[in-house]
Structure 1
Amino acid sequence: MNAIDKAAARRAFDAAADGYDAAAVLQREIGNRMLERLDYIRLTPKRVLDLGCGTGATLERLAKRYRRAEIIGLDFAPAMLSHARRRGHWLNRPRVVCADAEQLPLADDSVDLVFSNATLQWVNDLDATFGDLLRVLRPGGLLLFSTFGPDTLSELRAAWAAVDQGEHVSPFLDMHDIGDALVRARFADPVMDVERMTLTYADIRALMRDLKQLGAHNALAGRARGLTGRRRLAALAEAYEHQRRDGRLPATYEVVHGHAWVTAKAQRQFATDDGVAIPLEAVARRRSAAGGKG
């Protein structure tokens, strides 16, 4: 798949930070539905990670739900975090960390719940990301996430295809591929489902303005550089008009929901010339438990 240019994506989100909340109607609704799912999950976390917290819209609600837990917001866009760190009461601001979801600066077994709303579509190596999330989650911990599937912005993708052969919309992963990645990472009891949500616009300029305000620019590494000319934009608008229904232009989002648990983790191993070894400290623990006998 065409990789995400992380530097370009970060610049786009930084530029969008001040106006993000006004445009993030869909993201806010998805976040609300994710929070409702927690009503049916028995979990009392000590530490919660909001992965890809953006401006921190859910940080306060997670703090209210889990009043005794430490809530941490992580995002790779500093300007987004400048808004997130102002959430809550001035005596109890959330902790925020500026980092990439693919390079978590967190200790092993340090988190009980990872909550991630509309973020995983911005990672390039989902297998490695799930592996790292498994690392930071404690046994008994939960990963709850939403992301977008391949039918997302299908109307915009089709309109661009009528104009040129370039990559303008991210090739989102299928729900089943995401579930398979959870299994490969050794998460337990993964559950996946999908729902479709549609926003409508008066014209394509309103849609493009929304995407820009969200920071959802085309950040694909193989994207065409430079400005899009008026002629191509006019051709795009004309192609999109074929999608108009009841006087409005639709923008479909395939919202993928998933959650999975962490069970007892397998003993960490590493390769040697003679076979496989386990860390020395694990051997020491076993000897101690056995009364010091070999």
Structure 2
Amino acid sequence: MNSPATPLPLTHWQERVARAFSRAAPRYDTLASAQRDIGEALWQTLPERSHHVLDLGCGTGYWTQRLAEHYPDAAITGLDLAPGMLAQAQAQYGDAIRWEQGDAAALPLSDASVDLVFSNLAIQWCPDIGAVMQELARVLAPGGQARITTLLPGTLSEVATAWQRPEALLQTPDASTVQRAIQQSGLRLIQHTRAQRRFFYSDMNAVMASIKGVGAQVARPNARLTRQALINAQARYESLRTPQGLPVSYHCLTLRLESAR
């Protein structure tokens, strides 16, 4: 795989995230229906032409391959923190795409080397959103653009209610924090939209499979559950059931950014 010769130094949190997503890689494409649905709306905003494209948080390479088909003359890079995801991507889509292990807050790319960044539901995993925006500003070429979806507080709130463990939710920055990070980075915010998307599942097992199956649950210490705790969680989730099924909410922020150079 065309990845760094030396292991990427990761913090403890990054290691846990990378392991979770690497474990999820074999099942990700089967269970990522919500992520795909959200990404389709982002896809519709792509510019007509691009020459150097980065899929930031590429996962198993689904969007990376589509970008390669959409921009057949462009150099395409798929970058992800999780080596298991990159291995899956390379095995499925081959070496015409450059697969790179990397951290969104310390991109292994040259200054002004990218003219389009596509990132669907990835940067919410980065603890320092300011560093991510600074890196995007650094690697985008003059006039370069970024199309990003990320998650806001309140995502998976039904899961937290069922388990009565709000601390298990993904801790994401709010929209004002993201916008402040953009402003401080020097990037130009062209457009932003907020939306709540709800997806529905037949039962709690399907809900948890959809979350675990895409790596979106990082194990916490002392997370062992008793049978009674599981029964109670199922009962709480059932109280939220709608005619469509058990709901799972994603609070999404879509960003259109541009280099200010």
Aligned mates of 2:70, 2:175 — CA distance in 1: 28
Aligned mates of 2:101, 2:195 — CA distance in 1: 31
Deviations 1:14-34 (A, max 9, x none): 111111100011111222221
Matches for 1:268-283 after TM superposition, within 5 Å: none
Matches for 1:209-248 after TM superposition, within 5 Å: 209-219=209-219, 223-246=220-243, 248=245
Q: Which of 59, 73, 92 lines up with 1:68 in the alignment?
A: 73
Aligned mates of 2:63, 2:123 — CA distance in 1: 16
Cα deviation, residue 83, structure 1: 2.0
Question: Which protein has the larger Cα radius of gyration, Structure 1 or Structure 2?
Answer: 1
1:26 matches 2:31 = no
Please name the residue that 2:135 is paired with. Answer: 132
Please name the residue that 2:5 is paired with. Answer: none
Deviations 1:243-289 (A, max 9, x none): 1112621111112100111022xxxxxxxxxxxxxxxxxxxxxxxxx
Aligned mates of 1:261, 1:138 — CA distance in 2: 9
1:6 matches 2:6 = no
Aligned letter for 2:73?
A: R
Task: Answer whether contact 1:49 1:73 (CA < 8 A) is retained.
Answer: yes
Deviations 1:193-239 (A, max 9, x none): 022221112221211122111111135xxx33342222222221122
Aligned letter for 1:199?
A: F
Deviations 1:91-142 (A, max 9, x none): x621100112122111111111111010011000000111011111111111
Aligned letter for 2:202?
A: A
1:83 matches 2:78 = no
Task: Answer whether contact 2:120 2:149 (CA < 8 A) is retained.
Answer: yes
With over 3 angstroms needed to count, the CA separation of the structure-2 counterparts of 1:175 and 1:240, relative to structure 1, is same
Aligned letter for 1:84?
A: A
Please name the residue that 1:54 is paired with. Answer: 59
**Runs of at least 4 residues off by over 6 Å:** none
Please name the residue that 1:194 is paired with. Answer: 194
Aligned mates of 1:202, 1:71 — CA distance in 2: 38
Structure 1 spans left out of the alignment, 5+ residues: 265-294
CA RMSD between the two structures? 1.9
Q: SS of the counterpart of 1:243?
A: coil
1:259 matches 2:256 = yes
Structure 2 spans left out of the alignment, 5+ residues: 1-10
Aligned mates of 1:245, 1:147 — CA distance in 2: 26
Q: SS of the counterpart of 1:252?
A: strand
Aligned mates of 1:197, 1:122 — CA distance in 2: 19
Q: Which of 110, 121, 127 lines up with 1:118 in the alignment?
A: 121
Cα deviation, residue 87, structure 1: 4.5
Please name the residue that 1:286 is paired with. Answer: none
Matches for 1:107-186 after TM superposition, within 5 Å: 107-161=110-164, 167-186=167-186
Q: SS of the counterpart of 1:214?
A: coil
**Count of residues in correspondence between the two structures:** 251
Q: SS of the counterpart of 1:101?
A: coil
Task: Answer whether contact 2:200 2:244 (CA < 8 A) is retained.
Answer: no
- TM-score norm. by structure 1 comes to 0.80
Q: Which of 102, 109, 133 lines up with 1:106 in the alignment?
A: 109
With over 3 angstroms needed to count, the CA separation of the structure-2 counterparts of 1:113 and 1:160, relative to structure 1, is same
Aligned letter for 1:139?
A: P
Aligned mates of 2:106, 2:248 — CA distance in 1: 32
Aligned mates of 1:245, 1:96 — CA distance in 2: 42
Q: SS of the counterpart of 1:116?
A: strand
With over 3 angstroms needed to count, the CA separation of the structure-2 counterparts of 1:226 and 1:149, relative to structure 1, is closer
